[in-house]
């Protein structure tokens, strides 16, 4: 079996928010799908059993999903993906609000609130079967996990390194974004100094389509 064939299953990236023992919990997941749409939309979330968020969802029975946009600050992914909620108050590090008792990010492509109706333990993960009890729009287009791997993971790792070394949340610097596909330039060379024939590594469009944010 060629396990790499499974890499071609597409995913998004989602920040899950829940509560445990009176405090906010959260993590990043990619394994989140809509299963049915009527009479009530249902979704399935697969969450790592060892994570605090897994215990939080079991305790609370509800969670939010902030659907990550293509222009997400890489630190947000690092903050929720590279450390445990047992060691850090992840939500305190990022702009967020409380929606009917559960945390959501200030900015996301869209937001959902899910209520667990059933779950099944898999080898390493729990599959939570849920009803969507609320949903609202944010801004931007959803980030695709494969594009994160190709275009943003390095920036997330660097943001996390800076955070661990300094003990401070990194301030987001200006960034250059491909206006066609949303790729965020994260190379070593300052964007302005790149050769004029530079092309977006994701969609192949020229340097001129990049916009400073």
Residues interacting with Fe ion, by CB under 5 A?
178, 180-181, 183, 200, 202-203, 205
Q: How far apart are CA 162 and CA 150, in angstroms?
A: 21
CB of 200 to Fe ion, least distance (A): 3
Helix (H) or strand (E) holding 134: strand 125-137
Closer residue to Fe ion in complex, CB, 176/183 = 183
Distant-in-sequence, close-in-space partners of 169: CB < 8 Å, separation ≥ 6:
75, 79, 93, 94, 163
Q: Both ends of the chain: CA-CA distance in Å?
A: 44
CB of 180 to Fe ion, least distance (A): 5
CB of 105 to Fe ion, least distance (A): 24
CB of 178 to Fe ion, least distance (A): 3
The residue behind tokens 């801004």 is 139
Closer residue to Fe ion in complex, CB, 83/154 = 154
Closer residue to Fe ion in complex, CB, 148/183 = 183
Closer residue to Fe ion in complex, CB, 75/183 = 183
Closer residue to Fe ion in complex, CB, 40/203 = 203
CB of 112 to Fe ion, least distance (A): 28
Q: Give buried/exposed letters for 102-140 (b at 16+ CB in 10 A, else e).
A: bbbbebbbbbbbbebeebeeeeebbebebbbeeeeebeb
Coarse DSSP helix, strand, coil percentages of the chain, rounded to the nearest 5 percent:
25, 35, 40
């Amino acid at each position: 079996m060629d396990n790499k064939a499974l890499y071609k299953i597409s995913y998004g990236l989602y920040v899950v928010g829940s509560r445990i023992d009176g405090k906010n919990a959260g993590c990043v997941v990619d394994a989140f799908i809509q299963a049915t749409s009527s009479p009530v939309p249902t979704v399935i979330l697969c969450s790592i059993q060892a994570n605090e968020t897994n215990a939080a969802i079991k305790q609370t029975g509800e969670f939010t999903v902030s659907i990550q946009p293509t222009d997400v600050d890489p630190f947000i992914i690092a903050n929720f993906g590279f450390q445990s909620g047992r060691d850090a108050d992840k939500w305190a590090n990022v702009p967020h609000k409380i929606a009917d008792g559960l945390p959501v990010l200030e900015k996301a492509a869209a937001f959902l609130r899910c209520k667990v109706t059933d779950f099944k333990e898999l080898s390493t993960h729990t599959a939570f079967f849920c009803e969507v009890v609320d949903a609202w729009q944010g801004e931007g287009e959803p980030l695709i996990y494969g594009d994160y791997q190709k275009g943003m993971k390095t920036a997330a790792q660097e943001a996390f390194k800076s955070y661990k070394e300094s003990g401070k949340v990194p301030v987001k610097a200006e960034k250059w974004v491909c206006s066609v596909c949303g790729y965020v330039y994260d190379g070593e060379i300052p964007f302005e100094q790149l050769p004029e024939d530079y092309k977006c590594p994701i969609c192949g469009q020229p340097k001129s389509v990049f916009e400073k944010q």
